[in-house]
Structure formats: C-alpha cells, structure tokens
Amino acid sequence: MVIAVEKGLERLKEQLESRGYECFYIGENHVADAVIYKDKDNHPYFEVNKFSITNMLSSYSDSPHGALLINAGNKSIDEIVNILTRRTYSPLL
C-alpha cells in the first residue's frame, strides 16, 4: 500500500515505513492508496492523485484510482494502521 503523508507528520511517516508501508509526502506527484493529513483547513489532499486522474480522464482508463483519506488528529499509529488494514474508519455492519 502506498501512502501520501502531509509534511509535518514526519514521525508518523517513519513509523509507517518501519511497518512496511511505502510513503511519500503530499505534493511529490505520486499515486497513493491512502492520504494521511492533519491540516483540516488547508486540504492538502487535493494534490494527491491529481496526475493520475488527469491521465485517466484523457485516456479513458477502466481503472479509476481513489484514495482513503485519514485525518491523523488524535490517532495513534495503531489506530491508523487499523484504518489502513480495514480501509474504513468503522466496521461495516
């Protein structure tokens, strides 16, 4: 799983990488499966997968690429890994 991380969350990025996740900072023009951010007012996650979406629309690709958004505020590394594993914030009933 590839994860885009907002700058300022360096420690979280290191912890995720030590658990085997591939991570990069938002704005580095990569495609991500998940985006972890903390700044609710700035909306940095709009920059993730922008290149992928533009290519998809221009080439009529059959495989759109979305990303799970995770606000890191008040979450431990274990909570974030659980969200990544489940790909949702709560179990579906």
Decide if 93 is inside a domain: no
pLDDT at residue 91 tops 50: yes
Q: Which domain holds residue 52?
A: 2-86
Measured distance CA(65)–CA(55) in Å, rounded = 11
Residue 23 lies in a domain: yes
Q: Of 19, 16, 2, whose CA–CA distance to 75 is shortest?
A: 16
pLDDT at position 69 over 90: no
> Rounded to two decimals, what is the model's pTM?
0.74
Structural domain count of the chain: 1
Q: Tell me whether residue 55 is in a domain.
A: yes
Does residue 5 have a pLDDT over 90? Answer: yes
Is residue 91 included in any domain, yes or no?
Answer: no
SS3 annotation, 25-70: ECCCCCCCCEEEECCCCCCHHHHCCHHHHHHHHHHCCCCCCCCEEE
Q: Which residue has the higher pLDDT, 92 or 29?
A: 29
Residue 92 in domain: no
| 17-68 residue pLDDT tens | 999 999 999 888 888 899 999 876 655 555 555 554 444 444 444 444 578 8
